[in-house]
Structure 1
Amino acid sequence: MRILFKTPLRCAAILGLAMSIAPIARSAETICEPGAYGAPDQDVVVLEAKDWIPSPGLGYLILDGRYGSTLAPDSPVSCGRGYVILKTETSGEVRLEQRVFKRTREEIPVADAVLVGELVEPTGAGVAPIRPLVVMVHGSETEPAIGNNRAYLLAAQGMTVFTYDKRGTGRSGGFYTQNFELLADDAAAAMNHAQSLAQGHFSRSGYWGQSQGGWVAPLAATRSKVDFVAVGFGLVTSPIDEDREQMLLEAETLGLNDHEAAEIRKLSGTTATIVASHFTRGFEALESLRRKTADEKWVHLVNGEYSGDMLRMNDSDLRRVGRAVFDNLEIIWDYNSTTTLNHLNIPILWVIAEQDRQAPIAATTAALRRFREKGKAIDVYVFPETDHGMYEFVQAPDGSRRNTRVTEGYFRLIGNWITGNSQVDYGRAVLLPTK
């Protein structure tokens, strides 16, 4: 979860149902159109322009988690006028009609800024007039959120979705920040505005927060009237804990010994004092550790979110520019979601990537298990062999990873849990037991 999808989709065509069909010849001359294709009870495909794909190609994201370029020779997506042909992994080829969405662009005054958001509502025959309302709370990325493909993937599953550019990004004003308190206020304002826009047309409302949004969304839920919170690959523990657990995971991967792991824990405690004080104290202890470990090999191998870089920066530079480098985004370093979750009495979904390197899961899984044992209404799903972002990956001999797809079942799980549709099979997901 690094401390620190894009072109708006044009979705205008006739709503239709998918049908199983015989293999259809793919036309190289047909230009794909941005939009979402499919209906709530079908496969769904979202097409959008991507900087890394030359025109006339588009990026595709499928409900089953596959993504890529429509220009790729092995693309499972081919296009017709107002529809796509999708090669499924289990049912051959199906035809999916382009969806119609009502899009309402809005401005939301918040503290020292005006946020710009968009309400996306499915329309057309067969669309339920009353449906869940979801406000998306994004992670630490600085890209605009309006028009991203995951929002349309949700909307195509039969819910109203509100997404907004965070302050200091996209069309929204203000300065970019990672202050969870301020971001939670913004998310609550977005929810209140979305509920007003969709008044009389939603059955229940709540947040879907991913990555850093896993800290912000539950906090926002304490400041607004909502019915649920869904979190993907987020943490209960603090940014300080995240940094430490990242380094210990790196140590395990590198095969470091117990002494080296103990030194890493000391490093985490030392840097925690510095960042939690916003670089006003703790430098002497870090300098002492820096001198003591100067000749140790692990010093040059571990990183975490910030501790490795702080250790390798000399004392005078760290005192002089450390805050500007590491603490310029108003992060609440010791923020922990435990108190927030204790105050929530609404259903919560928490989805975990088992092999998450950016947000190691051990402490979060343990905390969520304790909440469940106390009777808290938290459904916890763990997807095996999955990294941050819910990505499946191929790992090279040197330990580096290449993402291959979003794990099958993740998007369907989010959609079904929010809409209340029952389904047992979500790919390889495992529902965490109470004990």
Structure 2
Amino acid sequence: MKWFAVLLLAWSLGADARAETCPAGAFRNQGNAPDLLVLAPVESIPAPGLRWLFLDGRRGSTLDADSMVRCRSGAVEVRTHDGSWRRWSPIELARTDVEFTSAATPLAGRLIEPAATAEPLPLVVMVHGSERTPALDSPYAYLLAAQRIRVFVYDKRGTGRSAGQYTQNFELLAEDAANALAQARVLAAGRYDRAGYFGGSQGGWVAPLAATRAPADFVAVGFGLVVSPIDEDREQMIAEAHALGLGPEALQGIERLSKATAELLTSHFESGYEALAAVREDPSTAAWAGQVKGEHSGAMLLTPEAELRRIGRARFDNLELIWDYDAVAALRKLEAPLLWVLAEKDREAPIERTRDLLLSLASAGQPIDIHLFPDTDHGMVEFTEAPDGSRQVTRITDGYLRLLGDWIRGVSAEPYGRGVRLQEPKTRLPD
């Protein structure tokens, strides 16, 4: 039974190695190919595991069986192309935790910055998307800090260490972001040269609005939308219909469905039932009902009217979302330079109308820098697509994270992976 003892010993040593705790933070490769790496705890990965993220977008978990990042004797090692392991050096980052108040609500924040330097560096506040997860240990915050940026993160109200109730009210969230920037300016006083916001996804609605309320030197947005949440739902359904190969009759039905659900939502379920019933009763609806979903309209179509009248608002309209939010109006008020990065094949937030509106604003003279990364989905992720249309995320696209860091620092080192800068406008802005 010696072979069993040997296997047991090998298994236990391997388990101990996998269980070693890597230090969270940022690391640098000192070899011939300089690179950055961050490790951070996330709720989806059980301790002692950490998520790892490279500057070029490769990502994973230290608990993955084939992880290319491991911990040995308290140090971080990365597997090279030839299978050997190289130790990476830690980047010294300072963390300062603080509690600040916004709209009478205590919020938890953290300033993450390069340690032992008083050199003026850019200061950025990270604005949330729609997630409910804590943000104080965001791997993106550490990666920006590793690029010599002072980064302020905070737990969204109702999440993590922050008090209050979770909401998607853009007005209130913009107030929180503006107060976060004010707090960040105090913490980093004398150590920053320009200050602004970065928002991803839903943060694309919130960050520009915050910049109209508190002075900001720049705003950066990733995979956000200029159209309203109602339009987002409509465009998502149209994209789904095209992917399914549905014809003009289905598209007309989807347009009528969007108008009906928009009336329900903007009236807080006081009206719109008759229009929705007409869509349900149309014989052509059966060809696409259940397949076209959008953000909410597909589910509302399948929900019986009696149930919608009873719990419709509690189910679909319980987060104070401003359904017909006028994002164009907020952008027109914005004076700070704006970076907007689009994911070409974004299913959650289709880009067509947003791209055209941004290009029109740029053509009208606003300082907007628009970049598009091909073959990417929401989150600037690359993916593989199965025959049934389902997608499996592989990584964050190369160039996106470096573009954010460079743009915030006010430098440019193109090309950024396969990203392209957009130029020519296609439509006029609505009056």
Tell me which residue corresponds to 1:47: 39
Cα deviation for residue 346 of structure 1 reads 1.4
Taking the aligned partners of 1:266 and 1:88, their CA distance within structure 2 comes to 55
Work out the CA distance in 1 between the residues paired with 2:81 and 2:344.
24
Q: Partner residue of 2:124?
A: 134
- Give 1:97's match in structure 2, choosing from 81, 89, 93: 89
Q: 1:56 to 1:193 in 2, by over 3 A?
A: closer
Aligned pair 1:272/2:262, yes or no? yes
Does the CA contact (< 8 Å) of 1:247 and 1:302 recur in 2?
yes
Residue 13 of structure 2 is matched in structure 1 by: none
* Amino acid in structure 2 at the alignment position of 1:254: L
Tell me, in whole angstroms, the C-alpha distance in 2 between the residues paired with 1:152 and 1:373: 35
CA distance in 1, matches of 2:410, 2:114: 17
Equivalence for 1:63 = 55
Q: Give yes or no for contact 1:133–1:161 (8 Å, CA) kept in 2.
A: yes
What's 2:69 paired with?
A: 77
Q: Corresponding residue for 1:114?
A: 106
Q: 1:229 to 1:88 in 2, by over 3 A?
A: farther
* Residue identity matched to 1:215: W
SS of the residue 1:162 aligns to:
strand
Query: What per-residue deviation string (whole Å, max 9, x for no partner) do you get for residues 264-296 of structure 1?
Result: 011101111111111111111111222224762
User: Counterpart of 2:354?
Assistant: 364
Distance 2:44 2:219 in 1: 33
Partner of 1:289: 279
1:385 CA displacement: 0.6
**Per-residue CA distance 1:398-426 (angstroms, 9 max, x = gap):** 11111010111111000000012220121
Give the CA deviation at 1:47. Answer: 1.4
Say whether residues 1:423 and 2:419 are aligned partners. no
Report how far residue 232 of structure 1 moved. 0.3
**Partners of 2:183 and 2:42 in 1: CA distance:** 30
Per the alignment, residue 309 of structure 2 pairs with 319
**1:214 is aligned to 2:209:** no
Q: Residue type of the partner of 1:401?
A: R
CA–CA distance in structure 2, aligned partners of residues 52 and 237 of structure 1: 31
User: Hey, what's the Cα distance between the residues in 1 that align with 2:165 and 2:42?
Assistant: 26
> Match for residue 292 of structure 2?
302
SS of 1:98 mapped into structure 2: strand
Q: Following TM superposition, by how much is the alpha carbon of 1:434 offset from its aligned partner in structure 2, in angstroms?
A: 3.3
Distance across 2 between alignment mates of 1:129 and 1:375: 33
Decide whether the 8 Å contact of 1:82 with 1:98 is kept in 2. no
Question: Where does residue 404 of structure 1 map in the other structure?
Answer: 394
Which range moved further: 397-406 or 71-80?
Answer: 71-80
1:49 counterpart letter in structure 2: P
The within-5 A match list for 1:255-266 is: 255-266=245-256
Letter in 1 for 2:341: V
Aligned to 1:10: none
Q: CA deviation at 1:50?
A: 4.4
Contact conserved, 1:134 with 1:206, CA < 8 A, in 2? yes
Q: Secondary structure at the match of 1:379?
A: strand
Normalising by structure 1, what TM-score? 0.88
Match of 2:191 in 1: 201
Secondary structure of the equivalent of 2:288?
A: helix
| SS of alignment partner, residue 216 of structure 1 | helix
CA drift of 1:364 comes to 0.2
Between the aligned partners of 1:97 and 1:426, the Cα distance in structure 2 is 25
Q: 2:374 aligns with which of 350, 374, 384?
A: 384
User: What does the per-residue CA deviation read over 1:282-326, in whole Å, with 9 as the maximum and x for residues that have no partner?
Assistant: 111111222224762201211101111111111111111100000
Aligned to 1:6: none
Q: C-alpha separation between the residues in 2 aligned to 1:60 and 1:135?
A: 22
Post-superposition CA distance 1:336-381 (Å, at most 9, x none) = 2101111112110000000000000000000011011112111111
Residues 44 and 96 of structure 1 are in contact (CA less than 8 Å); yes or no, is this contact kept in structure 2? no
Q: Is the 8 A contact 1:36 1:99 kept in 2?
A: yes
How many corresponding residue pairs?
Answer: 406
> Which secondary structure state, in structure 2, belongs to the residue aligned with residue 364 of structure 1?
helix
Cα distance, 1:295–1:71 mapped onto 2, change above 3 Å: closer
Q: CA RMSD, aligned part only? A: 2.2
Instruction: Report the residue type matching 1:134 in the other structure.
Output: V
What is the rounded CA distance, in whole Å, between the counterparts of 2:22 and 2:108 in structure 1? Answer: 28
Return the structure number with greater helix share: 2
SS of structure 2 residue aligned to 1:225: coil
Distance in 2 between residues matched to 1:279 and 1:359, nearest whole Å = 24
Aligned pair in 2 of structure 1 residues 309, 146: CA closer, same or farther (>3 Å)? same
Distance change in 2, residues 1:69/1:400 (3 Å): same
Shift of 1:177: 0.5
How does the TM-score come out when normalised to structure 2?
0.89
Q: Is the 8 A contact 2:17 2:72 kept in 1?
A: no
Contact 1:39–1:157, Cα closer than 8 Å, also in 2: no
User: Partner letter of residue 147 of structure 2?
Assistant: Q
Letter in 1 for 2:58: R
Answering whether residue 243 of structure 2 is matched by residue 242 of structure 1, we say no
Q: Name 1:168's counterpart in structure 2.
A: 158
Gaps of 5+ in 2: 1-15, 426-431
Residue 393 of structure 1 is aligned with which of 343, 360, 383? 383
